[in-house]
Amino acid sequence: ETGVTQSPTHLIKTRGQQVTLRCSSQSGHNTVSWYQQALGQGPQFIFQYYREEENGRGNFPPRFSGLQFPNYSSELNVNALELDDSALYLCASSDSGYTEAFFGQGTRLTVV
């Protein structure tokens, strides 16, 4: 296993609500990336954090936001949830943005 842990593993929310997902990166890794994986699709890049700063963003609206803490753990926040936000949310840590990414087991979010 990778040492990247995500919580919770499963979550059901109602449309319009807000959600916070958490990720603890692997020891020694200062870079955390978040991905959304819809059923049957490849992971889609949401954003990346490097040393507590957002370091790049994919094509996701501003209601997707994040934080990285001094211990390099991270949060993904999604406001005003929509049905299409239902997906597996993956956190990946690395020791830079250019090396192999170690993925957590993901959080399965269902929006009803």
Partner 1 sequence: GQQVMQIPQYQHVQEGEDFTTYCNSSTTLSNIQWYKQRPGGHPVFLIQLVKSGEVKKQKRLTFQFGEAKKNSSLHITATQTTDVGTYFCAGLDAGGTSYGKLTFGQGTILTVHP
Residue number with CB closer to partner 1 (13 or 108): 108
Answer whether the bond into residue 61 is a cis peptide, omega within 30°. Answer: no
Residue number with CB closer to partner 1 (7 or 18): 7
Name the residues that contact partner 1, by CB under 8 A. 2, 31, 33, 35, 40-45, 48, 50, 55-56, 58-59, 90, 92, 94, 96-106
Least distance from partner 1 to the Cβ atom of residue 69, Å: 19
**Partners of 11 in the beta sheet?**
109
Residue number with CB closer to partner 1 (101 or 111): 101
Least distance from partner 1 to the Cβ atom of residue 16, Å: 28
Phi and psi at residue 104, to the nearest 5° = -80, 180
Phi and psi at residue 85, to the nearest 5° = -80, -10
**Are the beta carbons of 26 and 4 closer than 8 angstroms?**
yes
Residue number with CB closer to partner 1 (18 or 110): 110
Least distance from partner 1 to the Cβ atom of residue 19, Å: 19
**Are the beta carbons of 88 and 108 closer than 8 angstroms?**
yes
